[in-house]
Amino acid sequence: MTADVVRALGALAHEAVHTTATGEPREAPGTACGCPAPVVLADRADGTVVRLGAVVAKAHAPGTDTAALAARLGPAADPGLAGILLPPLPVPSAAGGAGAPYLTALHGRPVTLWPYGEPVDPDDPDRAPWEEAGALLARLHRVGPRPAATPQPVPGPRDGGADRTGSAAPPPMRGPAKAALAVARMRAARPDGPATAPVLAAWAALPAWARDEEPAPAHRIRPLCHGDFHLGQLVRRSAWGGWLLIDIDDLGPGDPAWDLARPAAWFAAGLLPPGIWDRFLAAYRAGGGPAVRADGDPWPELDAAARALTVQTAALALAKCAAERRNPDEVEQVMIDSCARIAALPPELAAAEPS
């Protein structure tokens, strides 16, 4: 099925390259096609991504809530968020994009189209755009409530299916839900064994909202959070004037500390140098980011989310190690060891919540 999805994504991207959103051809009849071959950028359980020239087609994970995804596409397409979120491309009308312009379906999976952008180079960490990322997250977190949109029809699959209606506002940010799924995945992969004990102990010490058992504190909810920020969620083109956030699958209102939590967890574990963390945090604060206080110790606001991301990272590492029948590598072991330190915290510190 994955091969079928990849081929279908390549065909859809090719159609988007050569067709306007209204279904009109971009070139005169008989014009030779100079498109390169499609390239698979990612093929994981959480999504399959294929690039053809300037267009990227993404098949979202099987079982994705299509109505929720349609609602999350709204902010990405909102001109008021230009320069923050990468906007989706309209789906050609012949591919089913007439009713819901940014969403279709292939082989039972929701599919979206996006402009291709240059990602962060993982082999050049000295040029990683940490300051730009901090400023971009601050801008996202300062977005006010958007005007209510008319609910958009969610397309039935291109290969058949009934239409539904997408909600006008995105549902809550999915960060805590993804952490809970990571722990469940670890439990399924390693139902027994001492390696999971510190991870489960650190998980149990988290506040209920960070385990996705109840909503985040009301005073911490912001209109928009990314929900899964890391440097792989940034792309750029010179014509865009800077970096943009991609991957809106987890976007929604929530605690903005979650978007700072992965870098904070790496910093606390010793994987992110203090100088880089300081520059990232300073850029976020300079942009008026509301996740932390304007100066002083940011940890009262970041602690719970950073611990949750530490647990999530360690749980996914242990699940992956079980599937690949190997021991954790050095970085994975650092995060597992961090869970042991979190589990050893006195209960009053582990349960502390900022006011």
How is residue 100 annotated by DSSP? Answer: S
Instruction: Say if residue 166's pLDDT is above 80.
Output: no
Q: Which of 141, 227, 147 is nearest to 179 (CA)?
A: 227
Residue type, 77: A
The predicted structure's pLDDT at residue 327: 94
- What pLDDT digit, counting tens, does each position of 254-308 carry? 999 999 999 999 999 999 999 999 999 999 999 999 999 999 999 999 999 999 9
Question: Looking at the chain, how many residues does it have?
Answer: 355
DSSP-derived secondary structure for 266-283: HHHHTSS-HHHHHHHHHH
Task: Give the pair of three-digit tokens for residue 269.
Answer: 């574990």
CA distance readout (Å), 66 to 27, 107, 152, 156 = 33, 14, 12, 10
Comparing 156 with 231, the larger pLDDT belongs to 231
Start-end of H helices in the chain: 2-18, 66-77, 130-141, 175-189, 197-204, 257-269, 274-286, 299-324, 330-343, 347-350
Which residues are paired to 236 by β-bridges? Answer: 118, 243
Give per-residue pLDDT as tens, 125-142.
889 999 999 999 999 999
